[in-house]
Amino acid sequence: METFVILAGGLGTRFKEVDQDISKIVFPVLQKPFISFIIDSINSTKVNSKIIVSLNKEDKEVERIISHTYPEVEFLIEDERLGTGGAVQYAFKNLKLNCLNIINGDSFVEIDWSLFLSYKTTTIALVKKEMTINQNQKGNVEVSNDIISSFKEKSDELSSFINAGIYRVYHNEIESCFREGPWSIERDFLAQREGIKAYILNSSLYDIGTSEGLKHFEDYLRKLSMSSEPNP
């Protein structure tokens, strides 16, 4: 069985320009909570999988909304906001697994899950920079022979690829980073470790953290819906 952990316990500071009251992961996008598109993508693979959403204890309404639509989804509840790294550490501690598939809950990208799940070492999904909205909000990455050669989180430097926010992480490769309190998987692990595998996607990355990103994602969904309609 494959286990997917969707990270959704952040404050969502950037999203305040879109909505002051609702978490971005359950913000209605064409009448569906945003996280639905991530969960539906995982479920479409037909892989035997478990989906877990990582939340803060204050996110009761988010948990209620997700549970209503997806009663099979499980939750990991943090007492404090641990950052992306702390949330992954918390997941490994509680789930007792060797490998987790980590997904940032504020962005969406089309991905071949069956291929991604075949990697036997820590792997990052990447998209080409020109296919990304809000480029300054994601990690800038360089690749050499399918291996990450440079990873700089939210940097203004020029790069060829952007971090898609999807990681296949092995416990024995990340456990040396574990620590007390909040920390970042991007800055404190991915940017520091050598030999991480790159999985390059031929897809666009949609980040709904801003009103611009949200609009682009809605446009993408409308075009997808039109293309799937039968010809008259």
pLDDT per residue over 7-65, tens digit each? 997 654 444 444 445 778 898 998 899 999 999 999 998 889 999 999 999 889 999 99
- Per-residue pLDDT band at 155 (split at 50, 70, 90): low
Fold of the 2-228 domain: Spore Coat Polysaccharide Biosynthesis Protein SpsA; Chain A (3.90.550)
pLDDT computed for residue 193 by the predictor: 92
Domain residue ranges in the chain: 2-228
The C-alpha atoms of residue 11 and residue 34 are separated, in whole angstroms, by 16
Residue with token string 């291996």: 147
Q: What's the pTM value of the predicted model, to 2 decimals?
A: 0.90
Q: How does strand 205-207 pair with strand 161-170?
A: unpaired
Do you know the residue count of the chain? 232
Do residues 102 and 8 touch, judged by C-beta distance below 8 A?
A: no
